[in-house]
Structure 1
Amino acid sequence: MTAWDYIVWALTCVFGGIFPARTALYFLAPAKGRVRWIVPYLVIGAALSMPTWAGDGNPLYYFPFLIAAFLIGYGGRPAARLVVGTIFFEWIIAWSMIVDTRAVLPGSAGYWGAMAWKLAMWAAVWLLMRRVFRDGKQVVLSGRLWALLGLLALSPLLSELAFSMWDIRAYTIDGTDAQIDAAFYTLLPFVFVSAIALLFAVVLLSRHQALEQEHQLADMRELYYQGIRREQEQVRRLRHDMRNHLTALSGLLEQGEDGRAAEYVRRLQAASGPSGAGRFAENDTVNIVLSAKARDMAQAGLIADISVSLPENLPIADPDLCALFGNAVDNAIEAAKDAADKRITIRARADKGLLMLRVTNAYAGRREEKADGLFATTKADRRAHGFGLRGMREIAARNGGTLETTAKDGVFELVACLPLTK
């Protein structure tokens, strides 16, 4: 190889890894470190120039380096990085073995042609995944689904590495290379197609899981909202009948029936839903939610510090308001029960075209932050819980707003900001 060949080779290796490395970002979160993202680019780029013949040991030695690059250079669940790294190894090396087995020594026309074929396929897979992820949705799967995908990825992985592990060429006699190549070129395309199919399986499983969670969130919001609606209707009936109640009370007092009048008032209080908790906001939905939650906080021995300034009408759907305020306070109550500081602070106001909600509470123990920036539920059955924060973020995003959470020094804070103009 000439000096020019070495320059072209180095540039191709460095920039060739961009396509698979960026393709992996559709499936994994970027690494948090400033330099760690370079690792997968360089390690994957090395596969472009690495000769990978049938029976060659290079794939066997390359596998741990690629897996380490995915564990170091990307974020998210370790299981996700391990599985995605394995799948990428399968399709990258399978294609390399297909084109390299018939290529000749480095520096020759066949060698450069093999590199060109690899680079073309890498670009094609990147374009394909770019089209699949044009909606911008991220891959989010449970640990069990990643484990299932890992088991499915074992079969093509072992089939691919079998040629390297057994050094199959060393045990052949003259005249058998043709039969080995026939088996080789029959097996490797299936490994390549299986790896690409596994990438599509990751996408489909992720979207199916997201759809199921959306349905669960919608059902939860509907049930929550229906409960609040019943309280609203109860309050409205009470207001509608208030004139008759006042007339009856006035008659009892005029007749000197103080005892019966007091009993009448007690019955009204028992039937008035959120009465006695005060009025927290002009908006009926928010007021009823906060009134109900104020009672829950009192029953749990918590101190409610509520200051809300919201108008009667808001350009946000009542189910969204109900779920946003209700879930925020529910999470605070759940966390503050076990904390030393029993105070829950709720602030909300409509100002300068924005609805601002801030809920602050103490918590005990640690809070586990997930890859999506939210915090995992502390309840034992994680499959049945943990949708509150995700649902609130969805509500904020659907209304053009944001929702941020922080947990530091034993204090959890939720801040939601929603525009009040469409």
Structure 2
Amino acid sequence: MMPPFYRILEISVYSLLNFLPYLFLALYPFREHLRYSRQATCMLAALVALLQMALGLLASFSPTDRKGFVSASSTALYFLFYFCSVRAHPGKTLFTLLMLSNIGNLVVVCSKCLEGQIFPGLAVQTYRWSFTVLMAAVQAVILIPLFLYIRNVYSDAVEKEADASIWRYLWLIPATFYLLWFYHLYGSGQSGLDVALQPANALFLLCINLGAFLIYHIVARLLSEYCRNMELEQQNHMLLLENLQYVNLKDRIQETRRAEHDLRHHMALMAAYLEDGEYDRLRAYLDEYRSSLPEDSQAVFCRNHTANLLLSYFARQATDAGAGFAVYGNLPANLGIAESDLSVILGNLLENALQACMAQEGSRRQIVFRGKMEGQCLLVTVDNTFEGELRQDPNGALLSTKRGGSGLGLESVRHIAARYGGMLRTECRDGMFCASVLLKL
């Protein structure tokens, strides 16, 4: 028997209201990372919305034993569309989906609880207009502020290219709260409707979501702060490059000025030798003068300007500290990597190696740099001698000798390597600390 049109309309409106706002909120943080164009994504979303309406109607008029299967199919369709539409780390998308699922559950329970207080006769029925109207009102109260938060805070945290390993575990936070809600709803022995109609349960779920949202906010702020520290680290190394260029230019200007100042005296003496016919003394003086001239160029370790500048600087620092400095390989002028990223990688690895050598008391102090291109991959290694034992946290990450916590420099290198689809590996062998970075350019 065909159900009445008003019932089809009630269920269809509810299905759309329970799907489209959350889909929009879930896609918004990844609007610049969609797998398809925005037009194609909207068309697919419209198709999925029609399928959700059909599944909602099927669930409403199907036998009780089939409702669970239809509901699971609806959830699976939503997840499948979302993961196929967004191009981001699975941990990010799963964190976002579970976070919004928890909020969606809160909206449904609060709406049903209000319906039970205002329309008790309709509340025991499924998907009536009273429930849809109250759910729209609850959504306006909760989802509008949530959208502003996602736009101003959460999107910024998601956009940051934090270390992928962080997102492998962060999604467990909303998953834990989801399991708490699931257990509270179905573990009591009561039906979902009876649980939702009790104000105490709605209040309990509200408290759970408030606590969860506080943790979400802390996570978002920590991620933003973490990435801001990475950006500051990059800026510091760019300032180091600019300072090195300024110092080199200043030295060249001073050398030129000294040479210009002394040149007239040399010319006067050479003119006197020439007038007196003392050609042998003139030739000897010219040879001596030529050997006293400063080098007209700095040491050239490779064709890449940024790498050569840093290698030249740390080579001088290592020489002053009494450490050997060897360079093998020649990096090409164009590496296909941002100058700031290359500066952070080389600057941190060479600085750590130099500090380790300066902390040694023995005479065997050595820094070895190797760099080469293999196909579309850049491989850089920095090995240095060291004394003592490396300090590591329980997860195996190296601890800084300067700050006591995790080394920010190596974290910056690991962060950049992850953005290029590469990795950072550190190990100790034969009295040497070896740091290797692989980037896919």
TM-score (norm 2): 0.55
* 8 Å Cα contact 1:14-1:45 kept in structure 2: yes
Counterparts in 2 of 1:411 and 1:135: CA distance versus 1, 3 Å: closer
Counterparts in 2 of 1:105 and 1:123: CA distance versus 1, 3 Å: same
Residue 116 (structure 1) aligns with = 136
Residue 436 (structure 2) aligns with = none
Residue 198 (structure 2) aligns with = 181
Q: 2:208 aligns with which of 191, 198, 214?
A: 191
Residue 19 (structure 2) aligns with = 17
Which residue identity is paired with 2:136?
A
* 8 Å Cα contact 1:327-1:388 kept in structure 2: no
Residue 35 (structure 2) aligns with = 32
Which residue identity is paired with 2:258?
D
**1:169 aligned onto 2:190:** yes
Q: What CA distance in whole angstroms lies between the structure 2 residues aligned with 1:58 and 1:11? A: 21
Structure 2: runs of 5 or more not aligned: 61-66, 117-122, 274-280, 314-326, 348-368, 380-408, 420-438
Deviations 1:317-348 (A, max 9, x none): xxxxx9669859989xx9982337xxxxxxxx
Residue 160 (structure 1) aligns with = 181
CA displacement at 1:90 relative to structure 2? 0.9
**1:142 aligned onto 2:177:** no
* 8 Å Cα contact 1:28-1:74 kept in structure 2: yes
Which residue identity is paired with 1:21?
L
**1:201 aligned onto 2:243:** no
* 8 Å Cα contact 2:328-2:371 kept in structure 1: no
Deviations 1:114-144 (A, max 9, x none): 4434543464245433663599786324334
CA displacement at 1:33 relative to structure 2? 3.0
Structure 1 or 2: more helix by fraction: 2
Residue 237 (structure 2) aligns with = 220
Aligned residue for 1:33, secondary structure, equals: coil
Counterparts in 2 of 1:100 and 1:179: CA distance versus 1, 3 Å: closer
Q: 1:239 aligns with which of 256, 260, 264?
A: 256
Residue 262 (structure 1) aligns with = 287
Q: What CA distance in whole angstroms lies between the structure 1 residues aligned with 2:300 and 2:196? A: 87
C-alpha RMSD over aligned residues: 5.2
Structure 1 segment 27-176 matched on structure 2, within 5 A? 27-29=29-31, 30-34=33-37, 35=40, 38=44, 42=49, 61=72, 66-100=78-112, 102=116, 103-106=123-126, 108-121=128-141, 123-129=143-149, 132=152, 139-140=159-160, 141-166=162-187, 168-169=189-190
Structure 1: runs of 5 or more not aligned: 172-176, 278-287, 307-321, 341-361, 366-379, 391-409, 413-422
Which residue identity is paired with 1:33?
Y
**1:384 aligned onto 2:413:** yes
Q: What CA distance in whole angstroms lies between the structure 2 residues aligned with 1:134 and 1:199? A: 9
Structure 1 segment 235-314 matched on structure 2, within 5 A? 235-247=252-264, 249-250=266-267, 253=270, 255=273, 256-259=281-284, 261-270=286-295, 272-274=296-298, 292=309, 302=330
* 8 Å Cα contact 2:270-2:282 kept in structure 1: yes
Greater mean deviation of Cα atoms: 31-40 or 105-114: 31-40
Residue 406 (structure 2) aligns with = none
CA displacement at 1:232 relative to structure 2? 1.1
Counterparts in 2 of 1:151 and 1:17: CA distance versus 1, 3 Å: closer
**Which of the two has higher C-alpha Rg?**
2
Q: What CA distance in whole angstroms lies between the structure 2 residues aligned with 1:274 and 1:33? A: 50
Q: What CA distance in whole angstroms lies between the structure 2 residues aligned with 1:335 and 1:276? A: 15
The aligned length equals 321
Counterparts in 2 of 1:240 and 1:304: CA distance versus 1, 3 Å: farther
Counterparts in 2 of 1:204 and 1:215: CA distance versus 1, 3 Å: same
Identical residues among aligned pairs (%): 10
Counterparts in 2 of 1:203 and 1:25: CA distance versus 1, 3 Å: farther
Aligned residue for 1:337, secondary structure, equals: strand
CA displacement at 1:93 relative to structure 2? 1.2
* 8 Å Cα contact 1:31-1:73 kept in structure 2: yes
Q: What CA distance in whole angstroms lies between the structure 1 residues aligned with 2:14 and 2:34? A: 24
CA displacement at 1:161 relative to structure 2? 0.7
CA displacement at 1:234 relative to structure 2? 0.2
CA displacement at 1:200 relative to structure 2? 2.7
Aligned residue for 1:21, secondary structure, equals: helix
CA displacement at 1:100 relative to structure 2? 2.6
* 8 Å Cα contact 1:26-1:139 kept in structure 2: no
* 8 Å Cα contact 2:299-2:312 kept in structure 1: no
Q: What CA distance in whole angstroms lies between the structure 2 residues aligned with 1:230 and 1:336? A: 26
* 8 Å Cα contact 1:98-1:185 kept in structure 2: yes
Aligned residue for 2:29, secondary structure, equals: coil
Counterparts in 2 of 1:2 and 1:216: CA distance versus 1, 3 Å: same
Q: What CA distance in whole angstroms lies between the structure 2 residues aligned with 1:216 and 1:222? A: 10
Aligned residue for 2:125, secondary structure, equals: coil
Which residue identity is paired with 1:229?
Y
Greater mean deviation of Cα atoms: 9-18 or 152-161: 9-18
Aligned residue for 1:168, secondary structure, equals: coil
Deviations 1:82-117 (A, max 9, x none): 111111111111221232353331353433334434
Greater mean deviation of Cα atoms: 207-216 or 28-37: 28-37
Q: What CA distance in whole angstroms lies between the structure 2 residues aligned with 1:76 and 1:364? A: 24
* 8 Å Cα contact 2:237-2:340 kept in structure 1: no
Counterparts in 2 of 1:134 and 1:147: CA distance versus 1, 3 Å: closer
